[in-house]
Chains A and B, each alone.
Chain A
Amino acid sequence: MSTIALTAPAAMPPAPAKTSGYLVLAPSCLVLTVFFALPMGTTIGMSFTDGETLAPTLAHYQRFFSDGLSLAGLYRTTVMSILVAVCVTVFGYPVAYYLARSRSRWRAVVFALALAPELAGVVLRTYGWLIILEDRGFINDALLNLGIIASPLPLSKNLFAVVVGLTHVILPFGILSLTTSIQGIDPNLERAAQMLGASRLSVLRHIVLPLSVPGIVSSLLISFTMAASAYATPALLGGARFKVLATMIYEQVLFYIDWRFAAVMAIALLLMMLTVSFLGIRYETRRSNRRTNSEGVFS
């Protein structure tokens, strides 16, 4: 390349194209800088500065980690996200297995049923769960009328309701990620195991489950991060009685007008998600490293 450039300086790359390339990129960069990069920088900066003097301080973080309410929020967010991740993956797995393996015409129906609700929007689905789980909702109504219970069961405004609602919202994403992973497993492996005398349960235990671990991990990660950052569902189904970081950030900004504390909470949430994503990436690189190492034995 460089020799050509030396001997034939006339053959220059078309410079105007490159310049126009950057020009064309400018609007996107501008928008993302002004409305994403600068706000994020500001938020981080605010979390480390004093509100009055603008001097650098860790006081807001100290307050966050010594405040019972915010620690409780952090704890609730974590528990809720773990439960949602587990529910999504456990419930999504059979459907994903069916979608990955079935060749019947019902597959399209199951696919549509499993994924179409995603188009309905979060509010509609959360509203549906509100009607079902409310104190005067569908389930309690039915149970009261049948005389099974004397007073409404506490089905809403708690961890249970939020986990149910979020599982419902996130399930399609979990199913998609698991389906892709299971589709990557050669169906002949299952048949080979069967030919070698493995029952369905053994095939599941020794072949399908171990080979879909990457899909299970990615489903857990996606579900966890989506649950931790969800706002509308915890706000409606958890209400004032079950506050998570996302709803607490909103309160800090709009009710308490404590911007710096809101910034700290936002950064805590962001760090929590980045940690989980980082763990996922590390798992993935370790896995591919192991694969290249075993190839190395051969060469």
Chain B
Amino acid sequence: MNSFDIELVSVSKSFAGLPVIQDLNLEIPRGEFVSILGPSGCGKTTTLNMIAGFNTPSLGDIRIRGRSQTRVPPERRNLGLVFQNYALFPHMTVADNVGFGLRMRSTPKAEIEPAVQAALRSVRLDGLGGRYPKALSGGQQQRVALARAIAPRPTVLLLDEPLSNLDLKLREAMRIELKEIHEQLGMTFVYVTHDQEEAMAMSDRIVVMWQGAIAQQGKPDSIYRSPATRFVADFIGRSNVLSVSKSAREAPFLHLTLEGSPIVLRSACVGGAQTIRSCCIRPECIVLLEETQADIVGQNQFDGVVRRIVNLGAHIELLVEIADGLRLTVLIRSGRSSFPPEPGSTVTLGVDPHDVQLLAD
């Protein structure tokens, strides 16, 4: 028995001849909190539905704890699913909702009651079992949905954008709570979302999907620091994606000539690709220098003209034109900047070579 709770082996899915998922391979280790992250239409919901059993893959195999489940109906897969709109049964009380899964499994009545109470306690809703879902607030309904899904002790809990119907404050509180529940239960969570902040905040691992395939997977931190492709760089956080016309290795750096300009960037990152066509720099990795500083070894430095300033409160966003048509977004902390730049003024930018990431496409 291997240690993967869910395995997707060369899974493809097409609807009416249109491919939605192409040759997807994914392994989800036991106990992990894994987020499947991507924009709408990337295939993440289809992937979730295939794991849940509502869609059958056109090709490939889906295994849960090593057993093929491709032909098993949803009700026999022993998975939990939390819906975006909660899907609470409106004609049942909260307790009946939470106990539904146990009743369907013919659990003895004497065991259902304590299990329901325990599930409600773990989402901090004790005492609300007698109410109907309509009488609860959105946040409470969300917790009931969670309690209902975990009460029968599923192998894996699937969550389909469960926080997207909550307001911002509640959403942020629920992130922490979900993470705590995950740690408490030790259950595998598969969390589908389009919200990168949410994925960043909770996941052990993020699987970024795009156009029906996995664009990149890894720890939140490493995905943010070293995006592999233009899409990931763009989708996760903000970044300056720059096209590169020529590259040459001059140890320890890689020299990248920016397209349409004579500027050469030094990068300390090692890319696998043979020819490098683009790179990216996070806006917060660019610093404003008061004057050209020759003493920082290897640092990229170039002058630019400030075109626009956007005050974001804690930060100031500058749009700096470093060459014709080549603009960089720069994010600096507000108060610390002793020389608030004026639009039209010339500034010097500095970028550490370690912050110039190579992209695969």
What residues make up the interface of A, taking CB atoms closer than 8 Å to B? 186, 188-189, 191-199, 202, 206-207, 210-211, 291, 294-298
**Chain B residues, CB < 8 A from A294:** 131-132, 134-135
Of B71-79, B192-200, B235-243, B332-340, the segment with at least 4 beta carbons within 8 Å of chain A is B71-79
Q: Which residues of B contact A195 (CB under 8 A)?
A: 52, 74-75, 79-81, 149
Interface with A: B18-26, B82-90, B293-301, B302-310, which one? B82-90
The B interface, classified by DSSP as helix, strand, loop or mixed, is loop
Is residue B44 within 8 Å, beta carbon to beta carbon, of the partner chain?
A: no
Whether the pair B75, A189 counts as a contact (CB closer than 8 A) is no
**Which listed residue (A188, A198, A295) contacts B85, Cβ 8 A?**
A188
12 of the cross-chain contacts (CB-CB < 8 Å) are A188-B83, A188-B85, A188-B87, A191-B52, A191-B83, A192-B89, A193-B104, A198-B100, A206-B89, A211-B90, A211-B91, A297-B131
Chain A residues whose C-beta falls within 8 Å of the C-beta of B227 in the assembled complex: none
When C-beta atoms are compared, the residue in chain A nearest to B151 turns out to be: A196
CA gap between A207 and B152 in the complex, in Å: 18
> B124 at interface (Cβ–Cβ under 8 A)?
no
Contact of B75 among A186, A197, A210, A296 (CB under 8 A): A197
**Are A191 and B91 closer than 8 Å at their CB atoms?**
no
A291-B134, A294-B131, A298-B136 are known contacts. Are A194 and B75 too (CB-CB below 8 A)? yes
A210-B52 Cα distance, complex, nearest whole Å: 25
* B148 neighbours in A (Cβ, 8 Å): 192, 196
In contact, A197 and B54 (Cβ under 8 angstroms): no
Compute how far the CA of A207 lies from the CA of B101 in the bound complex, rounded to whole angstroms: 13
Q: How far is the CA of A193 from the CA of B73 in the complex (A)?
A: 12
Asked whether B105 is an interface residue with its Cβ less than 8 Å from the other chain, the reply is yes
User: Interface code B181-213, partner A: CB below 8 Å = 1, 0 otherwise?
Assistant: 000000000000000000000000000000000
**Which chain B residues border A191 with CB–CB below 8 Å?**
52, 54, 74, 81, 83, 87
The answer to whether A197 touches B73, judged by C-beta atoms less than 8 angstroms apart, is no
Whether, in the assembled complex, B345 has its beta carbon less than 8 Å from a beta carbon of chain A, the answer is no
Contact present for A298 and B83 (CB under 8 Å): no
| Cβ-Cβ contact count across A and B, 8 Å cutoff | 77
Return chain A residues, CB-CB under 8 Å to B132: 294, 297
B104 touches A196 (CB 8 A): yes
Contact B85 A197 (CB under 8 A): no
Distance in angstroms from B36 CB to nearest chain A CB is 17
Partner of B89, one of A193, A197, A202: A193
The 4 A-B residue pairs with the shortest CB-CB distance in the complex, in nearest-first order: A196-B101, A188-B87, A197-B104, A298-B135
Residue with the greatest number of chain A CB neighbours at <10 A, chosen from B73, B76, B132, B149: B132
Q: B79 contacts which chain A residues (CB < 8 A)?
A: 195
Residues of the A chain whose Cβ atoms lie less than 8 Å from the Cβ of B78: 197
**Which of chain A's residues have a CB closer than 8 A to the CB of B274?**
none
Q: Which residue of B lies closest to A211 (CB)?
A: B91
Check A297/B135 contact, CB under 8 A, given A194-B73, A199-B75.
yes
Closest CB in chain A relative to B87 CB, distance in Å? 4
Determine the chain B residues whose CB is within 8 A of the CB of A298 once the complex forms.
131, 134-137
Min CB distance B71 to A, Å, is 15
Determine the chain A residues whose CB is within 8 A of the CB of B152 once the complex forms: 196-197
What 0/1 readout, one digit per residue, does chain B (49-64) give for beta carbons within 8 Å of chain A? Answer: 0001110000000000
Nearest-neighbor residue (CB-CB) of A207 within chain B = B89
**Chain A residues within an 8 Å CB radius of B80:** 195-196
Query: Are B73 and A189 within 8 A (Cβ)?
Result: no
Chain B residue with the shortest CB-CB distance to A197: B104
* Given contact pairs A191-B74, A192-B87, A294-B131, a sample of 10 additional A-B residue pairs in the complex whose CB atoms are under 8 Å apart: A186-B85, A191-B87, A195-B74, A196-B80, A196-B101, A197-B152, A198-B75, A202-B104, A298-B131, A298-B137
Query: Contacts A294-B131, A297-B131: A186 and B136 contacting too (C-beta < 8 A)?
Result: no
B81 touches A192 (CB 8 A): yes
- A197 and B73 alpha carbons, distance in the complex (Å): 9
Nearest CB in chain A to that of B104: its residue: A197
Tell me the bound Cα distance from A191 to B55 in angstroms.
Answer: 12
Return B191 CB to nearest CB of chain A, in Å.
Answer: 16
Report how far A197 CA is from B52 CA in the complex, Å.
12
Distance, CA A199 to CA B105, complexed state (A)? 10
Across-interface contacts of A198 in B (CB, < 8 A): 75, 100, 104
Distance between A255 CB and nearest chain B CB, rounded to angstroms: 52
Find chain B residues with CB under 8 A from A210 CB: 91
Closest residue of chain B to A199 (Cβ to Cβ) is: B75
A residues near B89, Cβ cutoff 8 Å: 189, 192-193, 206-207
Nearest A residue to B136 via CB reads A298
Given contacts A186-B87, A189-B87, contact A194 B134 (CB under 8 A): no
Distance of A186 Cα from B79 Cα, bound (Å): 20
CA gap between A202 and B148 in the complex, in Å:
17
A197: chain B residues at CB < 8 Å are 75-76, 78, 101, 104-105, 152
Q: Which residues of A contact B131 (CB under 8 A)?
A: 294, 297-298
From residue B305, how far is it (CB to closest CB) to chain A in Å? 53
Contacts of A196 in B (CB 8 A): 75, 80, 100-101, 104, 148-149, 152
Q: Once the chains are docked, how many angstroms separate the CA of A297 from the CA of B79?
A: 33
A43 to B73, CA, bound (A): 63
